[in-house]
Amino acid sequence: MEFKRLKYFIAVAEELHFGRAAVRLDMAQPPLSRQISQLEKEVGALLFDRSRSQIRLTQAGEFLLEKAREQLAALESTYEEVRRIGAGNEGRLRIAFVGSATHGVLPALIKSYRAHHADVDLVLTAMNNAELKRALIQREIDVAIARPSIADDEVKSEFLHQEPLILALPDNSPLNAQAIPKLGDLGQETFILYPSNPRPSFADYVLDICHEAGLGAVRTVMAMDYQTAISLVSVGVGLSIVPESVSSTQRAGVSYRKYSGPNPGTALSVNYRQDNRSPQLRGFVEIARQYSRESGLKRKPT
């Protein structure tokens, strides 16, 4: 049954007059009468009683009118939802991120995105860089917040945020008594690195910084991820080098200190597939770009 024919039927059923219904539909009366006759043949029942001066709905017509209104309302609701999804105002966006991004950057992005796209369902998952790359290539996620970025011909990577590195120390460490600990003097300390695999990773990045500071073969303990590393710091296993934004969330047993020595910092990036054209993704990327621009302005000297 054609939905256009149902619209014709509803107009005649509500007007109970073919002439007025034709004017309402902006069409001639004869084609409208033919459409209603064809509808009656299609459903196998008379819908209008034409035996009197004014047409009336039959019982079958009354039933069809009720159901036709429901069907057309549901179809219009579906069309409206499709339009909203197509415009990026509804739908789903799957975002995965490195754990350390949950301090400062990611919450700010999510809050801003929700303010502009409140009806988009966000699916948030923590992953390491290797997992981010695999999930992005296999289309299991739409956005990867990586540190520092994901290198692949199928992936577009955009700079998001740059920050210095700091020390995460047990709160009873003697290093807390120093004004600014010198990285080159920490050769006797145990460095908690993450992730433990796959390698190379952020752990190797930190080791390169230690070697640049003049440290030789440092003692290391490998952790699965950033959260585990901080937990090990809190119980006195050793110290860790982490992004500065981590210090925005205090953890019992952990203190954060700046250090002197090589500090190339660390960057976050927004990564997505080159062929992903979804409006939900475009909306998130634009908000990320705005965040990056505003963050860059704040970093400029006054």
106 and 251 share a domain? Answer: no
- Predicted confidence at residue 139, as pLDDT, reads 92
Distance from C-alpha of 73 to C-alpha of 76, rounded to nearest angstrom: 5
3-state secondary structure 164-193: CEEEEEECCCHHHHCCCCEHHHCCCCEEEE
Element at 257 (helix H, strand E): strand 254-257
Beta bridge partners of 168: 240, 256
What φ, ψ does residue 103 adopt, rounded to 5°?
A: -100, 105
* Ramachandran area for residue 26 (φ above 0: left; ψ -120 to 50: alpha; else beta): left
Determine the length of the chain.
302
272 and 149 share a domain? Answer: yes
16 and 74 share a domain? Answer: yes
Please report, for the domain that includes residue 202, its CATH number: 3.40.190.10
Distance from C-alpha of 26 to C-alpha of 299, rounded to nearest angstrom: 63
- Predicted confidence at residue 242, as pLDDT, reads 96
The number of domains in the chain is 3
152 and 195 share a domain? Answer: no
CB 193 within 8 A of CB 203: yes
Please report, for the domain that includes residue 44, its CATH number: 1.10.10.10
User: In the Cβ-directed half-sphere of 120, how many Cα atoms lie within 13 Å?
Assistant: 28
158 and 270 share a domain? Answer: yes
Q: Which domain holds residue 244?
A: 165-257
57 and 77 share a domain? Answer: yes
Q: Which of 44, 28, 37 is nearest to 9 (CA)?
A: 37
pTM, two decimals, is: 0.70
Amino acid (1-letter code) at residue 224 = M
169 and 253 share a domain? Answer: yes
- Predicted confidence at residue 285, as pLDDT, reads 95
Distance from C-alpha of 265 to C-alpha of 260, rounded to nearest angstrom: 12
Is the sign of the CA dihedral 249, 250, 252, 256 positive or negative?
positive
45 and 31 share a domain? Answer: yes
- Predicted confidence at residue 302, as pLDDT, reads 30
- In the numeric block, the tokens 């919450």 are attached to 107
68 and 95 share a domain? Answer: no
285 and 158 share a domain? Answer: yes
CB 233 within 8 A of CB 254: yes
117 and 154 share a domain? Answer: yes
pLDDT in tens, 15-54: 888 888 899 889 999 998 899 999 889 889 898 988 767 7
- In the numeric block, the tokens 């309402």 are attached to 24
43 and 80 share a domain? Answer: yes
Q: Which of 86, 120, 137 is the last residue of a domain?
A: 86
- Predicted confidence at residue 281, as pLDDT, reads 92
- In the numeric block, the tokens 């069907």 are attached to 71
pLDDT in tens, the chain (302 residues): 577 888 888 888 888 888 888 998 899 999 988 999 998 898 898 989 887 677 898 999 889 888 888 888 777 766 666 666 666 666 889 999 998 899 878 999 999 999 988 888 899 999 988 899 999 999 999 999 999 999 999 999 999 999 999 999 999 999 999 999 999 999 999 999 998 888 888 999 999 999 999 998 899 999 998 899 999 999 999 999 999 999 988 899 999 999 999 999 999 999 999 999 888 899 999 999 999 988 765 544 33
